[in-house]
Amino acid sequence: MKVEQLFTGCLAEMAYYVESNGEAAVIDPLRETEPYLRMAEADNAKIKYIFLTHFHADFVSGQYDLAQKTGAKIIFGPNATAEYEIYNGSDGEEFPLGGGKLTLLHTPGHTMESSSYLITDEDGNTPYVCTGDCLFIGDVGRPDLAVKQGTLTEEDLAGHLFDSLRNKIMTLPDDIIVYPNHGAGSACGKNMSSETYDTLGNQKKTNYALRADMTKEEFIKEVTTGLKPPPQYFPNNVRMNKTINTSIDEVLHKGTTPLDPDTFKELSERDDVLVVDTRTKENYTEQGTVPGAWFIGINGSFAPWVGSLIRDINQKIIFITDEELRVNEIVTRFSRVGYDNTLGYLNGGIEDWLAHGYEVDKIGSISAHTFTEKLKEGTLPNPLDVRRQSEYDSEHVVGVENFPLDFIHQDFAQINPDKEYVLHCASGYRSLVAASIFQANGVKNVTDVRGGFKDLKETEAPMTEYVCPTTLL
């Protein structure tokens, strides 16, 4: 039996492809269908099942489109309801696949329909379990995303999660490989490992949530403590995962339209259109950008920041790229978090924009050394650290306030557009994103610190005492 993990770094998401004797299954597919179709074709296999561990909140999954193209049956656990046809498996139900099988284990807690899938090979061995967002490497799924006002609290969900782990997962053999749905960087847990798989036995030794002596009350307290509000796009993605959406093929057809500079300019000046600059940090800062554009570089955590910062999931979007070969990828990555209303890209890039004589906005920058000198002189205007609060609390430059990028819209009323601001993050990506939003909202004097906190630590800037962070949220 072939089992392949398909890791997508931007979302820290793992899908799985399972094949045996000409029959295949896909577990937790992303929006785009082509990777799975190609794998099945290479194996001369037919995709028989599409298994979902739950309704995902952090990305739009591709089960409906994939089922339409393959005729595969969409399998969810108990309690799941959707606008399209699904099959609700029951706890312990077996699904034959070639010479092996997958067994559904109902593991509620992250959500009530959450399920894990035990993989049995042709020899009757059970080498793998796909745990979805029930069990991560080093962590467990957050229990606050499926709260229902008045009927289901995060404490209730955490209690279900405790029972699922103790009664369904921890009873499996210690040498079984745990295949989770997410790794470090996802907002679906508090402090996940960068490892993408591990043995259950090792997780029992190292994962705080699997301690043998942990009581249910202790578990509930630990997994519900320190949770920050989830990204604002999560409820939209859950809704989209329960409904029939525009096909990814249609989204790509519309979103990859080349727009000449005149058309792009006309669209960029409309109040209902947002320009997103996806280029590298270097090209963005050196060449400037279309006035009003937000920088969200494709080489960073693109999709999660798109979802966290663009408040309207139906927002009309046009984008700038310096790599036209990546246009399909960019539109796909917008769509992975539900942003399907991309209208096209600037054909010829910023070079053609400039050749047409159109103006650009630029964001100034300073080195970490200059930042430190000005800080000591008392001439540094309004420095802000845009890292997450947990990063800031762990260690920061004395005298610099925290203004997390995650909550920039909620907190923007604190910003005076007539003042000058100097922004830094950990290494320079998030601070440029924040600076571009500042500029688009009328703050003309905003400066970025090149190299961010990483470079500031190499200077004589005064630092708070380091405290080990307890959460990455």
Q: Which domains does the chain have, with CATH numbers?
A: 2-234 (3.60.15.10), 246-355 (3.40.250.10), 364-456 (3.40.250.10)
Would you state the structure tokens that stand for residue 414, as one six-digit string?
């604190």
Give the number of other CB atoms < 10 A from CB of residue 362.
12
Give backbone dihedrals phi and psi of 275, rounded to 5 degrees, phi first.
-95, 130
- pTM of the complete model: 0.94
Predicted local distance difference test score (pLDDT) of residue 471: 53
Torsion of CA 389, 192, 3, 111, to 10 degrees: -80
- Locus of tokens 């029930």: 134
DSSP reduced 3-state for 274 = strand
Predicted local distance difference test score (pLDDT) of residue 229: 86
As a whole number of angstroms, the distance between CA 57 and CA 54 comes to 9
Predicted local distance difference test score (pLDDT) of residue 148: 83
- Locus of tokens 């096209």: 344
Would you state the structure tokens that stand for residue 31, as one six-digit string?
């929006």
Would you state the structure tokens that stand for residue 244, as one six-digit string?
């029939």
> Which stretches within 363-404 are classed as H helix?
368-377, 389-394
Would you state the structure tokens that stand for residue 242, as one six-digit string?
């329960």
**pLDDT tens for the chain, residues 1 to 473:** 999 999 999 999 999 999 999 999 999 999 999 999 999 999 999 999 999 999 999 999 999 999 999 999 999 999 999 999 999 999 999 999 999 999 999 999 999 999 999 999 999 999 999 999 999 999 999 999 999 877 899 999 999 999 999 999 999 999 999 999 999 888 888 778 899 999 999 999 999 999 999 999 999 999 999 888 889 999 999 999 999 999 999 999 999 999 999 999 999 999 999 999 999 999 999 999 999 999 999 999 999 999 999 999 999 999 999 999 999 999 999 999 999 999 999 999 999 999 999 999 999 999 999 999 999 999 999 999 999 998 999 999 999 999 999 999 999 999 999 999 999 999 999 999 999 999 999 999 999 999 999 999 999 999 999 998 765 44
Predicted local distance difference test score (pLDDT) of residue 163: 98
